[in-house]
Structure 1
């Protein structure tokens, strides 16, 4: 009976619950490198590790490998290993990966389109922090 209840409860995640595995998936997808890997693979082509590393400037080999493993584990990335020497590995999005990447596109586009406004807000915030604490007088 408890198994049936748990199965029914897990039909939909609950991101507000600290015990829900959906939080890990959210972390993988929305991490800096997760977003960039999803966007880089959204063109529908297979990409070699080195090509992804060149496309995603600033990512270390360790972080790229870790991100690809996480996204593969979540079912968003498909890894194909070709039996040749040296090893040849290519990555592409699964059908679920395409769906989640399309969701991420809206976020990335919004950030790029509103970057000037965001940078101005950051500068204003930084200036306020540098001016010291605000003292309210009555």
Structure 2
């Protein structure tokens, strides 16, 4: 197992022993690929948009919003803009009056469904344990 020295370097060396200088797998470095991905997809709204579009295919903005309870128009709009900018969602506009805007996952966005489904599966299996642990801490704090 790798341990970190005071300067942030690994004391064990090897691939697992990365420094904070930006090499692979270093979550402390803002340029780390994993950290950048988590920054982009780590919101509940992003996960929900990916799930809905993976199941439904192409949807209009209003249809998408109707399938994501609790999301505001502004939050969905911002989330979609970010996903389009990241190449995970494609936006198609039909030039009608008013314009009709459709969203669908790109192949890159579609490839996110499997890891996100694994997270959902983990949550469904383990959140009762997490909730119980939180309740234990809450009860201990109250006594």
Same fold (TM over 0.5): yes
Structural RMSD (CA): 2.1
Q: TM-score, normalised by structure 1?
A: 0.76
Question: Secondary structure of the equivalent of 1:17?
Answer: coil
Any gaps of 5 or more consecutive residues in structure 2? Answer: 1-21
Deviation at 1:32, TM superposition (A): 1.2
Q: How many residues align?
A: 120
Quote the offset at 1:21 in angstroms: 7.0
Task: Report Cα offsets for 1:80-118 as digits up to 9, x if no partner.
Answer: 111111110111100000111221111012212333223
Aligned to 1:95: 107
Distance 1:46 1:13, change over 3 A: farther
What is the TM-score of this pair, normalised by structure 2? 0.74
Which gives a bigger RCO, structure 1 or 2 (Cα 8 Å, sep 6+)?
A: 1
Picking from 59, 82, 86, the partner of 2:94 is: 82
**Which has a greater percent of helix?**
1
Runs of 5+ in structure 1 lacking a partner?
1-9, 132-138
Partner of 2:130: 118
